[in-house]
Structure 1
Amino acid sequence: MKNKLFKENSKKIIETCDLLCKNTFIFNHKWDMEVCKIPYTFSEEIIWNKIPFEDPEWTFMLNRHKFWVYLAKAYALTSEEKYFDTFISQVNSWIDTVDVFKDEYFNCSRTIEIGIRCLNWIKAIKIFKNSSCNLNFIENKMIESLLYQCELLIKTYDDFRTLSNWGVMQNCGLISLALNYQEQHSILSQYLTIALERLEYQCKIQILPDGVHWEQSPMYHNEVLNCLLDIAFDFEKLNLDTPSFILSSIRKLAYSNAYMKKPNHNQPMQGDSDETDLRDIITRSAYILKDQNLKYFGYNFVDFESIWDIGDSNISKYEELPTKKPNFTSIALKESGNFYLRDSFEDNSNYLWFRCGALGSGHGHGEHLHFDLVSNGEDFISDPGRFTYVEGNKDREFLKSCFAHNTTIVDNLPFSKFNGAWGIVESALTLNTHHSFNTTFDFVEGGHLGYVSLESPVVTNRKILYLKNDLWIIIDEFLTEGAHEYSQIFNFYPDKKPTVDGLKAFIKGENSNLFMYWIDKNLNLNLKNSIFSTEYNKINSNFQLVSSIKSNKSKTLFTIISSKELSIQEASVLRGDGSFVPSYEAQAIEITLTPNNKIIVFNSMIDINNQKKSYLIDNILLYGKTGFIKKYNDTISFEIIKY
């Protein structure tokens, strides 16, 4: 695997750099924040403030200059002078053309771009110098330019940048410049002090206690982590002690990566995120921290992305680091409202991500009560991604909306409201979550108040019971005194096409299948064409399944999901005295796994009152709101999950 990855990545770098030598640009690196694989060529001089494809994000990517790092890598791999010559030519072109203090170059001059430029220019210089290139003249010119640009980074700092990933990037750029060149330029010692103080405060308020970046988008969470790792490697290579707050921040961000990582090693497409493999960034984190637990979630070897930072001479330090397997599977990141339910961390494992927390920044989507589902290592139900940031793009607006997420909807109205590509008009307030994880089952619950402003208010709540290893019960509650229409949305991975038959859906996979069941006879299932985007600027078609049902009172919807075909029927719920319990109060379902193995799952939406404190289900007297009964041959047991 190691040799294959190195060969593939080397080939990709060289192909990209061959295009760069012709002034043709594509942005295809796995950690590019806004990928664009459509080539764009400047026939003569590069116009650094050009906006192709009507997307300013392209211009931002152009002016971050990560491709200069690729040119340095291509030269290191091949020793071909054309890569060095192209680098010199493009550096001179940019410095001689762009003035970050002029309005016409605004799209080249945002503080986020300047910070990233600092990091990329210095990386490129180091790689070329390690390849014995003579950079004396161009290096001095680049550093003088960065000093000029960094006046903006010092002067332009406000509440937005303090809380945003932008501020982290601009301060990490300042720190890298100062660490590497403060001996030649005394002003940089002052810049270093300022940037470190700012960065420490940013890490304190931007990274939640559970390790998730507050903007709730793994793509930008990991851009923050990448920048912190860049300066941690600077400290190491200069034989300086890395500040403890940088190491602790790397640890928190890296561990939340480990927890969110899907069985295929990708980050979930939460908020504005692409489907990106997390192992290289976890590998670099494990190396910096010398962390055996983190190494389990990364690579066992130093991968192609990491070797440029770790260095050939330090490969053995990483590869000799023992790997420690975690003693848990599921985990609750409570402060951010992200819950990960699993049976193992293997490639063929089951994985469910449940989302019930604050929206975050403009990178957040309408995903309250959303879940992703991976069965036997295969993606079935998923967040459909982000596609683009172009203002006015209808696909962007849809993918950001509540109607593009695997959640519940009341009266076909959104519970959170957005305006255009970035605007947040109103975000539903989430309710307290509850979870319980053990070796036989996982349970998580959360709700929101996005519909309490309706004329007849509705409180929505979702409970997910995972009975290990291959049975998920989704319990959707709608508490109200009025009449409403309730819907559930399920977005399927592009290679999955559900077949709907009555109250059952069958989804064929490559290595396994998925079955979905409902029990309400008045429920309507509608299979629709929709859209799905695994990376920026890329869009696919997929299928979306929408259930809908009307009710005059509170309503509970059970959705049963399994990798095996089951028999499902409703079970009677009585009070302890044998009297009838209405369905708007409590319901139960009986799931037949095999003729001798049955499970009854029950759920109540209200506190039991009027001295009627117990339920009678299948002649078993119970007290509690949510739980299940297991009947195996002649053995009967039960578990109360929520009281």
Structure 2
Amino acid sequence: MMSLIFYNIIYYLKRKQKSFQQSLTSYTYVHPKYIEPLLSNLNQLSNKQNLRESFDLFRNNEVFVFGKIFDPIRFDYDYFNNYQFEKNVYKPAYFNKADIKVPYEVGRLQFLQKINLYFIQSAEVQKEIESVSKIYGDLLDEIETSNANHVLWNSPMDVAIRMINLILDRNIKFVINENENNKSLDELIIKHFEFLKNNYENKGNVVGNHYFVELVATLLFLKNYSFKEIDLEIDKVIKEIESEIISQFNSDFTNFEGSTHYTALMIEALLLIYLSLENDERYKELTKKIKNIIIENKIFLKLLTIDNELSQIGDNDSGRIFYFLYDEIEPLNMNWLFDLIDLSIKSETRNSIHKHSFENSDSIEIESLLKVEHQAIPIFQNEFDYYAYPDFGIYIWKNTTDYLSIRCGNLGQNGIGGHAHYDQLSIECYSNGKWFARDPGTGTYTDNIKVRNTYRSVESHWGPNLMFKNNQSFKKCFELNNIEPGKVLIFSQNQFLGKAKFNDVTIFREIKIMDGQLKITDFSKDSSLSQYKRWSSRKDGSKYSFSKGYKRFN
């Protein structure tokens, strides 16, 4: 308890003072070129029933939050833990008490995307605008009148996503009626922009997706509002984006966070940049680079999509930018994103650049070690392909019915591992409609540290079956300890050999695929290694409990 109090005091003293600064700049809304083509693509892909349900929820002052419906819509409340946040919030987490991500999620206003898309699909539907206008106006008034220490302004990244949603709201209002007076909405968007540029999250030991999303939101604002020094401001933001792409994307085009679902979020962010800059000749080279990253990551994520669900390697907090098409009931289904990319970016079909075998020159002496052979798994009765993503640290074998992957490599975030799990040498395996081994997902973050640490633990993954000592403290629940990056020694279509250190003990894992059988053997000097006499008996493939997205667990 004392360490928690001390942590909060230190954060309070070190925090950056937030305030709203009155802008002297005069901004003018300029309708962007990206919105009509985007709406056309969204209309092709949208589920009208889903949009109608979202509208009905909003009309009843209800909201979807991490797969559950709550009412009324509140910006200061954690529905899951029945906790109301104070008028002034000064810390980033309420450990083992409340989940601050819940009001962050509501405060993003992402439900406006579905409501606006619903409105724009029919003139008849637009007659129903009046039925929700009071709720809409009250919510925006609450944001406008909130103080700078309200939970609504506690996370600059969430402020950025809210600004994106407000700008898209502004865009669609113009499409519906370009003569409508939106002065108050413009002023609210400008307030977000002025706040954001004074509160960028670009300091600390990890500068990651938060800062990147903030830059994307800033760019979107600059492509929608004109002012005296607009070109200079755009150039500054573009240079920062170019720098962060270099920092946050690996040489194999994967994202440095080490998470599949954070990769999806970052690809959404890149897609928004691409759409904003597509017709701007000044940034032709940047859009070309972004296009390549998006396409390569679409291939990567589709390889890790099984039965229409994207595997949850690393953290998944269910964050979205293009919420228009997202399904709260099927949060792991990212096919809508792949389809949106296909409609938005015209490109030729390309083969993966990640099909290759290799053998490391390191001396390999494993026969003298203790070994444990696990139960064989029937798999790959037909031909299959194999793919290496060494910078992300994952190796994949796949055909139309079967899938196998193993994590071995970087920890993510340049070794910090804030959104990575203790999954070195862990496998996922699926064959003919059956899961044998699967990553369990994320559970939750700071409102329940025990759950947080359980879902990311060695014990919850299908790596070596060992006793792993790791006393993870509450303040280190966004980093990895007592584990080192894995190293691949052999990778080919039929064989894998990799190693990783757990508590300073080196463990090797060997995979062989022969005659329709998957054979896995672990080697170590550590006698505590145990055999998996059977793989998962659960339909979802997890060891103990499966989290189908953030907070979606038993």
TM over 0.5: yes
Higher RCO (Cα < 8 Å, 6 or more apart): 2
**Pairing 1:48–2:62 present:** no
1:124-523 to 2 correspondence within 5 Å? 124-130=169-175, 132-134=176-178, 136-138=180-182, 140-157=183-200, 158-160=202-204, 163-182=207-226, 185-236=227-278, 242-259=283-300, 260-273=303-316, 276-293=332-349, 329-342=385-398, 344=399, 346=400, 348=401, 350-360=402-412, 361-410=417-466, 412-414=467-469, 417=472, 419=474, 422-424=477-479, 426-437=481-492, 441-452=493-504, 458-467=505-514, 470-479=516-525, 483-486=527-530, 488=532, 492=536, 494-495=538-539
- Indicate conservation of the 8 Å contact 1:402/1:414, yes or no: no
Give 1:353's aligned amino acid: S
Cα distance in 2 between the residues matched to 1:71 and 1:77? 10
- State the distance in 1 between where 2:511 and 2:189 align: 52
The verdict on how the C-alpha distance between 1:47 and 1:431 changes in structure 2, with shifts beyond 3 A counting, is: closer
Which protein has the larger Cα radius of gyration, Structure 1 or Structure 2? 1
CA shift in 2, pair 1:330/1:283, >3 Å: same
Q: Match for 1:64 among 76, 97, 108?
A: 108
Percent identical among aligned pairs is 17
Give, in angstroms, the shift of residue 167 of structure 1: 0.9
Question: CA-to-partner distance for each residue in 1:443-498, whole Å, 9 max, x for gaps?
Answer: 2222112232xxxxx31011112236x32111211135xx545455976374269x
- In the TM superposition, residue 529 of structure 1 has moved relative to its aligned partner by 7.4
**In the alignment, is the contact (CA less than 8 A) between 1:336 and 1:358 conserved in 2?**
yes
Q: Report SS of the residue matched to 2:546.
A: strand
Task: Tell me, in whole angstroms, the C-alpha distance in 2 between the residues paired with 1:23 and 1:382.
Answer: 37
Residue ranges of structure 1 left out of the alignment (5+ in a row): 28-34, 297-326, 453-457, 498-527, 541-643
Q: Is the 8 A contact 1:463 1:476 kept in 2?
A: yes
Deviation string for 1:39-89 (max 9, x for gaps)? 2212xxx54333322332221111111111111111123432465336644
Counterpart of 1:515 in structure 2 is: none
Contact 1:64 1:114 survives alignment (8 Å): yes
Instruction: Encode CA deviations 1:385-429: one digit per residue, 9 max, x unaligned.
Output: 11222423533321111111001143x224795646834351511
2:403 partner letter? Y
Q: Is the 1:217–1:363 contact (alpha carbons within 8 Å) kept by the matching residues of 2? A: yes
Contact 1:21 1:82 in 2 (8 A): no
Q: SS at 2:337's partner residue?
A: helix
SS of the residue corresponding to residue 331 of structure 1 reads: strand
How far residue 199 of structure 1 moved from its aligned partner, in angstroms, is: 1.2
Which of 131, 153, 157 is the equivalent residue of 1:112? 157
> Are 1:232 and 1:242, in contact at CA under 8 Å, matched by a contact in 2?
no
Contact 2:497 2:511 survives alignment (8 Å): yes
Q: What residue identity is the alignment partner of 1:261? A: L
User: What SS does the corresponding residue of 2:60 show, helix, strand or coil?
Assistant: coil
- For residues 225-269 of structure 1, give each alpha carbon's deviation from its aligned partner in whole angstroms, at most 9, with x where no partner exists: 112112212233x56565433442342344234233334243211
Greater share of strand = 1
State how far apart, in whole Å, the 2-side matches of 1:472 and 1:258 are.
25
Equivalent position SS for 2:297: helix
Q: Distance in 2 between matches of 1:446 and 1:62?
A: 43
Kept after mapping to 1: 8 A contact 2:310/2:334: yes
Distance between the aligned counterparts of 1:161 and 1:293, measured in 2?
39
Change over 3 Å in CA distance of 1:231–1:477 after alignment to 2: same
Q: Deviations over 1:185-216 (max 9, x none)?
A: 33544432222111111111101111221111
Residue 450 of structure 2 aligns to which amino acid in structure 1?
Answer: K
Count of residues in correspondence between the two structures: 444
SS in 2 for 1:293: coil
In 2 relative to 1, CA 199–8 (structure 1 residues): closer, same or farther, beyond 3 Å?
closer
Contact 2:464 2:529 in 1 (8 A): no
Alpha-carbon distance change, 295 to 284 in structure 1, aligned in 2, over 3 angstroms: farther
Residues in 1 aligned to 2:215 and 2:490: alpha-carbon distance in whole angstroms: 38
Give the aligned partner of residue 9 of structure 1. 47
Q: Deviation at 1:377?
A: 4.9
Q: Which runs of 5+ in 2 are unaligned?
A: 1-42, 82-98, 319-330, 353-382
Distance apart, 1:339 and its partner CA: 0.6
The CA RMSD measured in Å over matched residues stands at: 3.2
- Structure 1 residue 539: Cα displacement: 1.9
Deviation at 1:333, TM superposition (A): 0.5
- Aligned-residue offset at 1:100: 8.8
Which SS does the other structure have where 1:330 is aligned?
strand
What is the alpha-carbon distance in structure 2 between the residues aligned to residue 400 and residue 253 of structure 1? 27
State the one-letter code of the partner of 1:395.
V
Name the SS of the counterpart of 1:475 in structure 2.
Answer: strand
Alignment partner, residue 19 of structure 1: 57
Shift of 1:176: 0.9
- Segment of structure 1 superposing worse, 276-285 or 66-75: 276-285
Spell out the pairing of 1:490-569 with structure 2 (5 A cutoff): 492=536, 494-495=538-539, 530-540=544-554
Q: Counterparts in 2 of 1:624-643, with a 5 A limit?
A: none
